[in-house]
Structure 1
Amino acid sequence: MRLTMAQISTGTDPEANLARIVDEIGGAAAAGAELVVFPEASMCRFGVPLHDVAQPLDGPWASRVRAAVDEAGVAAVVGMFTPADDGRIRNTLLVARPGLPPVGYDKIHLFDAFGFQESKTIAAGDDPVVFELGGHRVGVATCYDIRFPELFIELARRGAELIVAPASWGAGPGKAEQWRLLAAARALDSSAFVAAVGQALPADPDVRKSSAPTGIGHSRLSDPFGSVIIDYDSEEQVGTHDVDLARTDKARTALATLANRRDIPRLDGTDA
């Protein structure tokens, strides 16, 4: 599979961000990509009120992404926000494939850590998502999800050969190293390729000082053995990479961690 990783920095105007996304979808198609992955919060960056920008998957913002995908003939995963039933919103990944209905993944693990409380305004999802593309299965995860290996293992159990993890990672001491380490570790856990695509470090110094997670860059593509294929720096970067998904089967045969995995009883007597 040919994969484009779009490490961009989005602002507070969903229309301006959409224009950039449409341009990058066209560029990915010109590069021969089958899939282009954008960061979490591509619709609008964190650090500002998001309730008024949220739209359903069949709303005008997502529909224009889907139209660009249909025209370019390349699939895209894009971070956006959708309304929740309880008055909050959901942190959603839009999966848009040419000629197919949209698929949405609502972030399961919310970032209530490092002084930030995502759950105050965002409702958690419940369901892991794997989608078909070109005869392969692709799983999705969002940012803080990458700290939870059980999600990546479940995506692998559902057949994911590639897992894409859009993010808007928070800055702070040791955070970049944690991000890089976790991306490689989740590839090992799942015996799958992991494309961890983050928001680039914002150019505006004032945005960088925000307590909200606005991105640090350092996107990483890891193979099923945990080896690093490509690392980006902190600045905006869009690259296209060939991914040999046959290595997933090789890793699952050689490492056999999925086949050998056993459920460990918890202290309360239930299975993990």
Structure 2
Amino acid sequence: MTGIRTAIARPTITADPAANGKKVRSLMRKAAAGRARLVQFPEGMLSGYAKAQIADWADVDWRLVRAELEEIMALAGELGVWVVLGSAHPLTPPNRPHNSLYVISDTGALVDRYDKRYCSHTEITHFYSPGFEPVVFDVDGYRFGTLICIEVNFPQLFAQYERLGVECLLLSTYGADDSFETKAAAHAAINCYWVAVSVPALPDEPTPAGLITPAGLYTTQAAGPAELTFATIDRQDPALSTALRHARPWRATAAKGDLYRAHAVTDPRSTNRTAL
């Protein structure tokens, strides 16, 4: 098999970090049994998400969140699987937590953490402290990047990851509006990389969990009661040759602008835009 096999989670999230941690570990085992090298979870998976499960950070047992995280890290090492896990990350009081994605390696090490940069009005006003840096990491020769929820509305973040050489953007969210899927697919097609969407199982959730190809099409989706879907990211896939070998490098060259400046003309009929 060429490429890298991933698992994308669509679980239920509760206000109990112990229950959430147990669910994470259960799905990690299923992902490993399905030969996945990486498993991605939604926004707020471990701690619970503000507004939905959390009304006040004082209600959160942070020691329990950390204990569950340490168990998840240990299991990642045992299973040899990478984990991208949504959770609030506590800061020193009185600072509010970050809204984060923990990046856990297949050796059980916490190798990085993405902190949501573009928080919603309610998030930034009442619940979270913002982050400011992109996060990229490599697994089996494939480069991944991370974004969270409302950041789907900011094309410059997706373009930044394209410049950083990302081949799959892991987009984790708690909930999505009716246009979320359209926007995620557009970013995949414009930047010519895969976009993996992890979203919890909610009663009226319009966006499916799954993997969108560099052509802007879902290659797999979690349907019905499924809590996990598997997908392979393969840069050798002949169906994606145009997007990966031609469109992406051409667009990168075009974006720099030198190609067009080299063909600039000096012509009064060009400078006079009211000329007939």
TM-score, length basis structure 2:
0.80
Are 2:124 and 1:124 aligned?
no
How far does the alpha carbon of each residue in 1:65-115 deviate from its partner, in whole angstroms, 9 at most, with x for none?
111101111101110011235521110101111224431000111122xxx
Instruction: Find the counterpart in structure 2 of residue 261 from structure 1.
Output: 255
Larger radius of gyration: 2
Contact 1:69/1:96 (<8 A) preserved: yes
CA gap 1:94/1:102 in 2 versus in 1, 3 angstroms: same
Structure 1: segments with no counterpart, 5+ residues: 203-207, 209-214, 264-272
Relative to its length, the structure with more helix (as a share) is: 2
Instruction: Find the counterpart in structure 2 of residue 17 from structure 1.
Output: 20
Are 2:212 and 1:222 aligned?
yes
Contact 1:252/1:258 (<8 A) preserved: no
Instruction: Find the counterpart in structure 2 of residue 30 from structure 1.
Output: 33
In the alignment, the residues of structure 1 paired with residue 187 and residue 56 of structure 2 have an alpha-carbon distance, to the nearest angstrom, of: 29
Are 2:92 and 1:91 aligned?
no
TM-score, length basis structure 1:
0.81
Matching residue's letter, 1:78: L
How far does the alpha carbon of each residue in 1:166-194 deviate from its partner, in whole angstroms, 9 at most, with x for none?
11114xxxx23x11101101112321100
In the alignment, the residues of structure 2 paired with residue 243 and residue 22 of structure 1 have an alpha-carbon distance, to the nearest angstrom, of: 23
SS in 2 for 1:201: coil
Paired residues for 1:64-75 under 5 Å: 64-75=71-82
SS in 2 for 1:229: strand
SS in 2 for 1:164: strand
Kindly state the Cα deviation for residue 249 of structure 1 after the two structures are TM-superposed: 7.2
In the alignment, the residues of structure 2 paired with residue 102 and residue 60 of structure 1 have an alpha-carbon distance, to the nearest angstrom, of: 17
Percentage identity across paired residues of the two chains: 25
Kindly state the Cα deviation for residue 250 of structure 1 after the two structures are TM-superposed: 4.8
Instruction: Find the counterpart in structure 2 of residue 197 from structure 1.
Output: 198
Contact 2:49/2:87 (<8 A) preserved: no
SS in 1 for 2:20: helix
Instruction: Find the counterpart in structure 1 of residue 49 from structure 2.
Output: 45
Contact 1:33/1:74 (<8 A) preserved: yes
Are 2:233 and 1:243 aligned?
yes
Contact 2:5/2:36 (<8 A) preserved: yes
Instruction: Find the counterpart in structure 2 of residue 180 from structure 1.
Output: 181
Structure 2: segments with no counterpart, 5+ residues: 258-276
CA gap 1:94/1:180 in 2 versus in 1, 3 angstroms: same
